């Protein structure tokens, strides 16, 4: 399948993730939000109330789809029924793009409900890239793949995480969702310089940036998406924008979800940091 190789940004500015706690407020008051990202897996049941809400919101806001169920790094066959449902929703809503994570989430048919990193090897590059190409063919769209935060390393790894991510994106010919918070969390957990990671990423592949808050557990940082963005991550984000340009940016907040106004305040701060970095 020939997939368009040009990156366009049909959404722009700094958006927020759509969370169930905020759906009624958004549909009732339609606040000024540049764009919304949905967790794809929550909206795949045909005829559900969740889909009805989504279709209403899609009439008023640009959307992107972000999933956790593709398990692109697993050795299990890709779940064809899952992809059929995602494709049907994509065709109905027409999001700006569809993203998932460069990791594995299932094995032998069992779902771990976690984003588990991969060993960074040439063999894994070929394996993951092949599955991403297969997923793109099933959806008829180029995917955007996200770097995950990590708390372990494999003895088999022969390269850095950023070299692995870049190689997979190149071989699969997909885009990158660069999670700046995940870079910082992994850098602290594994003692590497976050700028080494950031500076290795090919500018032309980056479609979106994620920002979120982590929890400091003392022995490690935990990517909880339950707190405001930290000062260190804001600083790294500014450096990312200086290098990558005005990339659409999303505030993720999945635990301890605050009022919508707090999310929008974080998004406005991201827009201010972006504007200052570009200036």
Q: What is the pLDDT of residues 188-207, one digit of tens each?
A: 999 999 999 999 999 999 99
Give per-residue pLDDT as tens, 228-250: 999 999 999 999 999 999 999 99
Q: What is the pLDDT of residue 111?
A: 67
Could you give the CA distance from residue 182 to residue 191 in angstroms, rounded to a whole number? 13
Strands 206-211 and 249-251: parallel
Check residue 128 and give its pLDDT: 98
Tell which wins on pLDDT, 8 or 30: 30
Selected residue with higher pLDDT from 229 and 3: 229
Tens digit of each residue's pLDDT (9 = 90 or more) over 87-114: 999 999 999 999 999 998 866 676 666 7
Average pLDDT, the chain: 94
Return the pLDDT at 113: 66
Domain architecture of the chain: domains with CATH: 14-278 (3.20.20.150)
Q: What is the pTM of this model?
A: 0.94
pLDDT band of residue 5 (cuts 50, 70, 90) is very low
Any alpha helices (H) in the chain, and if so which ranges? 23-29, 49-58, 80-93, 122-139, 161-172, 180-190, 194-200, 231-244, 260-278
Q: Which tokens belong to 90?
A: 């994509």
Query: Would you give the end-to-end CA distance of the chain in angstroms?
Result: 40
Residue 4: per-residue pLDDT: 43
pLDDT at 115: 83
Q: Which residues pair with 36 in a beta bridge?
A: 16, 63
Which residues neighbour 76 within 8 Å (Cβ) at sequence distance 6 or greater?
Answer: 106, 107, 108, 109
């Amino acid at each position: 399948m020939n997939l368009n190789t040009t990156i366009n940004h049909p959404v722009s500015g700094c958006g927020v993730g759509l969370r169930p706690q905020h759906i009624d407020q958004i549909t009732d008051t339609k606040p000024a939000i540049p764009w919304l990202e949905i967790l794809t897996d929550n909206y795949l049941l045909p005829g559900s109330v969740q889909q009805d809400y989504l279709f209403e919101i899609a009439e008023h806001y640009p959307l992107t789809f972000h999933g956790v169920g593709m398990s692109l790094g697993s050795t299990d066959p890709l779940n064809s029924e899952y992809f059929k449902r995602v494709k049907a929703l994509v065709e109905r809503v027409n999001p700006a793009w569809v993203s998932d994570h460069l990791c594995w989430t299932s094995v032998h048919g069992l779902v771990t409900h976690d984003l588990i990193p991969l060993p960074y090897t040439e063999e894994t590059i070929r394996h993951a890239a092949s599955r991403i190409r297969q997923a793109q063919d099933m959806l008829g769209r180029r995917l955007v793949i996200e770097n995950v935060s990590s708390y372990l390393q494999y003895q088999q790894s022969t390269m850095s995480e950023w070299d692995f991510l870049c190689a997979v994106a190149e071989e699969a010919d997909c885009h990158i969702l660069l999670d700046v918070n995940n870079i910082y969390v992994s850098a602290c957990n594994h003692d590497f310089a976050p700028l080494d990671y950031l500076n290795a990423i090919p500018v032309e592949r980056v479609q979106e940036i994620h920002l979120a808050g982590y929890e400091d557990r003392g022995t490690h940082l935990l990517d909880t998406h339950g707190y405001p963005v930290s000062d260190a991550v804001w600083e790294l984000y500014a450096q990312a924008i200086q290098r990558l340009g005005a990339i659409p940016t999303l505030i993720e907040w999945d635990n301890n979800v605050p009022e919508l106004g707090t999310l929008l305040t974080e998004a406005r701060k991201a827009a201010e940091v972006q504007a200052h970095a570009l200036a």
